[in-house]
Amino acid sequence: MVNPRAGREIEFNDQKTDAPKKFAVIGGGPAGMAFAVNAAHRGHAVTLFESSTELGGQLNMAKKVPGKSEFHEMLRYFSVALDRAGVRVHLSTRLSAAVIAARIESGEFDEVIVATGVLPRRPEIKGLKHPKVVTYLDVLADDAPVGKKVAIIGAGGIGFDVAEYLVGDPKESLDPRTFMDTWGVDTHINSPGGLKSPAKQNFERTIHMFQRKPETLGKNLGKSTGWILKAKLRRAGVAMTAGVSYDAIDDQGLHITVNGDHQVVNVDTVVLCSGQVSNRTLYDELIGHGIPTRIIGGADVASELDALRAIEQATKLAVSL
């Protein structure tokens, strides 16, 4: 994922450039970091601006999901690679389009690369401002409190990750003993097939996942891992309902219609995982100022986004300039 060159080495131009430029990269998610490292390797002067206190963008949420802790290593890789490549990194820095325009004018930068990522999409549902409504960003990035009875709206990859985060035991993917016990693996092979009864788990929350599409939930999860995730959620008693229209959210809970049947699901928290939209405001403003600007990653295209695509697009752009 980090190295799009693997198996396609000759497709990438890694020669030093004979026309070095000064790039300002806005956004330190995987797209911004991959562009910065690769452009700096080719001899460009790169400065990376990230508005939050840490690099990584959405990967900082992904790494909190049980089973995805290997993203810590990807972040460690990028922080070492940026340092070795000589990229200047400014955290907690959000520049306005006017400030960037002035710095371009003064000759500090030649071009801007916008990698400002994505924002949660907010669906049209009556009562969306109710205090029990939060987004996946509030839960995973800002530790928003989540009650015992939860509805998750949207069952894409992030919806499933949020469900796993809310029911999962982070130790399960880090501690081999807990993993073996949870999955019923008899490491002493005293029982036929080396299988034993899985350890009993106490799940604190009742979770209900909903999607609009009238098809099995999780159909597009990864072939090799999706079944594991679904097995885990089934074991945790997570209910899954397809073909739902969302009518309203109020003190009673989430009002839905399924097959013409109106229901009220009594929940304390509704988590929105209903897709993402590109965060393009800065890009549009820079273009408005006539500044040479390119856009990559989720800021460019939000649908079907993953880190693999963001890193590949950023790397290809860096080796082409």
Ligand X SMILES: Cc1cc2nc3c(=O)[nH]c(=O)nc-3n(C[C@H](O)[C@H](O)[C@H](O)COP(=O)(O)OP(=O)(O)OC[C@H]3O[C@@H](n4cnc5c(N)ncnc54)[C@H](O)[C@@H]3O)c2cc1C
Q: Which residue ranges make up the site for ligand X (CB under 6 A)?
A: 26-32, 49-52, 57-59, 61-62, 65, 68, 94, 115-118, 140, 158, 161, 279, 282, 297-299, 305-308, 310
Is 22 strand, coil or helix?
Answer: strand
Q: How far is the CB of 28 from ligand X (least distance, A)?
A: 5
Q: How far is the CB of 199 from ligand X (least distance, A)?
A: 26
How far apart CA 54 and CA 58 sit, in angstroms, is: 11
Would you call 8 exposed, middle or buried from its count of C-beta atoms within 10 A (0-12, 13-18, 19+)?
exposed
CA angle 274, 61, 253 (to 5 degrees): 40
How far apart CA 180 and CA 261 sit, in angstroms, is: 42
247/306 with CB nearer ligand X: 306
Strands across the sheet with 253-258, in order?
A: 244-250, 253-258, 261-265
Q: Which residues contact 81 (CB under 8 A, 6 or more apart)?
A: 33, 37
Q: How far is the CB of 128 from ligand X (least distance, A)?
A: 20
Is 320 strand, coil or helix?
Answer: helix
Diameter over CA atoms, the chain: 74
Q: How far is the CB of 141 from ligand X (least distance, A)?
A: 8
Q: Which residues contact 95 (CB under 8 A, 6 or more apart)?
A: 24, 26, 49, 103
98/195 with CB nearer ligand X: 98
How far apart CA 306 and CA 186 sit, in angstroms, is: 36
For tokens 């009220």, the residue is 264
117/253 with CB nearer ligand X: 117
4/297 with CB nearer ligand X: 297
Q: How far is the CB of 130 from ligand X (least distance, A)?
A: 23
Q: How far is the CB of 311 from ligand X (least distance, A)?
A: 8
40/310 with CB nearer ligand X: 310
Sign of CA pseudo-dihedral 71, 73, 77, 78: positive
Q: How far is the CB of 140 from ligand X (least distance, A)?
A: 6
Q: How far is the CB of 247 from ligand X (least distance, A)?
A: 27
Q: How far is the CB of 279 from ligand X (least distance, A)?
A: 6
58/293 with CB nearer ligand X: 58
23/181 with CB nearer ligand X: 23
Q: Computed over its alpha carbons, how large is the radius of gyration of the chain?
A: 23
21/64 with CB nearer ligand X: 64
Contact 315/113 with Cβ under 8 angstroms? no
For tokens 């000589």, the residue is 86
221/248 with CB nearer ligand X: 221
